[in-house]
Chains A and B, each alone.
Chain A
Amino acid sequence: QKEVEQDPGPLSVPEGAIVSLNCTYSNSAFQYFMWYRQYSRKGPELLMYTYSSGNKEDGRFTAQVDKSSKYISLFIRDSQPSDSATYLCAMNDNYGQNFVFGPGTRLSVLP
């Protein structure tokens, strides 16, 4: 079993749709949870991060962490064609030194 699992997609949605991206993990020591966005031929860029369980909202993006289920989600409201990218979840423990990434979900938002 991989340490972090993520639905690889690809996922295609119409513009304006609500998108749900998810990751599951197995290591209960993970405390920091991040979502990165990666456009084609570019390096990943941090979108959001949360510490421990709970929700965090930033504009059209909401990150949720459920540590009891070892499950994290990223919701994108009113999706735009500019949101078309690969989304990577990432996590690390309290020492914060060793990062583990999911394989990424490729999202296409169609105009």
Chain B
Amino acid sequence: EAQVTQNPRYLITVTGKKLTVTCSQNMNHEYMSWYRQDPGLGLRQIYYSMNVEVTDKGDVPEGYKVSRKEKRNFPLILESPSPNQTSLYFCASSLAATGAGETQYFGPGTRLLVL
């Protein structure tokens, strides 16, 4: 089944404790992206990647890191999480490198609470 998977789905952590949220897609997609979703603010793009080893900042990259060492994986790293990073996180992928006009497939989401 073609899908985007994220792990973990739920995570409670404390301020300053490094964490990684994994994202994997099995559709051989070029483009991958991370979003956070907050009430009243909608989805905001954190980072995106057009291909292996090619990443760029979205609208809200502060406090996050990403890497794209393999085409299928795009982990999101929070080096020192803070309470304002409490949010619902989505990973997405699309076939084309640009993402323009392409269908983005979203993962099921990761709900993060930082105490």
Binding site for B on A (CB under 8 A): 4, 6, 8, 31-32, 41-46, 49, 51, 88, 90, 92-104
Contacts and interface: CB of A to CB of B under 8 A. Distances in A.
A97 B107 contact: no
Nearest to A33: B101
Interface stretch (B12-20, B43-51, B63-71, B76-84): B43-51
A104 B33 CA distance: 19
B43 A96 contact: no
Interface string B28-64: 0001010100001111110010100000101100000
B42 A97 contact: no
A99 B45 contact: yes
Contacts of A94: 100
Contacts of A51: 101
A42 B49 CA distance: 23
Given A32-B101, A43-B107, A44-B90, A98 B45 contact: yes
Given A43-B107, A44-B106, A45-B106, A88 B43 contact: yes
Contacts of B108: 42-43
B98 interface: yes
